[in-house]
Chain A
Amino acid sequence: MKTRVYVTLKGGVLDPQGKAIHHALGSLGFTGVNDVRAGKLIELDHEDGVSDADLEAMCKKLLANTVIENFRIERGN
């Protein structure tokens, strides 16, 4: 089973990488982009028996730093 974990910076946290990407898009001539936030996608290939609680614990203990990041788990079928 494949589960996707999306890790994104929390709302109030400044994202210098997102800013740089935003700036680069502007230099390429793209207009109308109001903001860019960069995050991570982590794919887990796991046994069906791994529980939602386990996945959540993995995120809290390692995959995301909850001081600065949020995570969203998209469990595969």
Chain B
Amino acid sequence: MKSAVIVFPGSNCDRDLAVAIRDVTGQAPAMLWHQETELPHDIGLIAVPGGFSYGDYLRSGAMAARSPIMRAIVAAAGRGVPVLGICNGFQILTEAGLLPGALMRNAGLSFVCRDVALTVENSQSTFTARYERGETIHIPVAHHDGNYSADEETLDRLEGEGRVAFRYAEPVNGSARHIAGILNDAGNVLGMMPHPERVIEAAHGNSDGRRLFEGLLETVA
């Protein structure tokens, strides 16, 4: 599976994400600088990593969402190419309009960096096919702005259409309806605050994140 990890100034999870993708798919992703304007032909996955793109200036993800490569990513997402945004990547995808809502400062105002329990809410998507619905998994979070916010109508629509992929099973950041990850309406764009790329092998403490990449490989390839 051909894939790309997008690199912005201030990204810091790009290499971890590349290792996870390479490890699971057997093929190293292209590392694409944000000033590129084109994606590799027949790309199977676009991954937008965590970090602090542009130092979180203006709003987390706001500057990155307006960088040249995003136009190509929005177009590819429209064609159905899977796009995975993790942490800052999730913030960037909401700022780019690929996902609804916004990620605000954590309710407790503190940076939260620890393993959290998540409930898998949707096991039908490209990203979650290897999980069971209702299953509890453990994936670390590391963020300051993970407090998902959207109006009630949007939240109801996300719930009604099965677009909440993951929910926190414990209090983490004040996120509306404990949302940790959501899908777009077509199901090919996932944004999530927890870092699945940080738990892909036993040495990481658990490998709950690995199945996300395995599921992608199965459904995309």
A interface with B by C-beta (< 8 Å): 12-14, 16-17, 20, 61-63, 65, 67-68
Contact = CB atoms under 8 A, between A and B. Distances in A.
Interface stretch (B24-32, B97-105, B117-125, B186-194): B97-105
29 contacts: A12-B151, A14-B104, A14-B149, A14-B174, A16-B104, A16-B105, A16-B106, A16-B108, A16-B109, A16-B147, A16-B174, A17-B105, A17-B109, A20-B109, A61-B66, A62-B58, A62-B62, A62-B66, A63-B58, A65-B59, A65-B62, A65-B95, A67-B100, A67-B102, A67-B149, A67-B150, A68-B102, A68-B104, A68-B149
B107 interface: yes
Interface of B: 58-59, 62, 66, 94-95, 100-102, 104-109, 147, 149-151, 174
Nearest to B59: A65
Nearest to B152: A12
Contacts of A14: 104, 107, 149, 174
A58 to B, nearest CB: 11
Nearest to A68: B102
Given A16-B107, A16-B109, A16-B174, A65 B102 contact: yes
A25 to B, nearest CB: 15
A17 B149 CA distance: 15
Given A16-B108, A16-B174, A67-B150, 14 more contacts: A13-B104, A14-B107, A16-B105, A16-B109, A17-B109, A63-B58, A65-B59, A65-B62, A67-B94, A67-B100, A67-B102, A67-B149, A68-B102, A68-B104
A13 B148 CA distance: 11
A23 to B, nearest CB: 10
A73 B59 CA distance: 19
A13 B102 CA distance: 11
Contacts of B101: 67
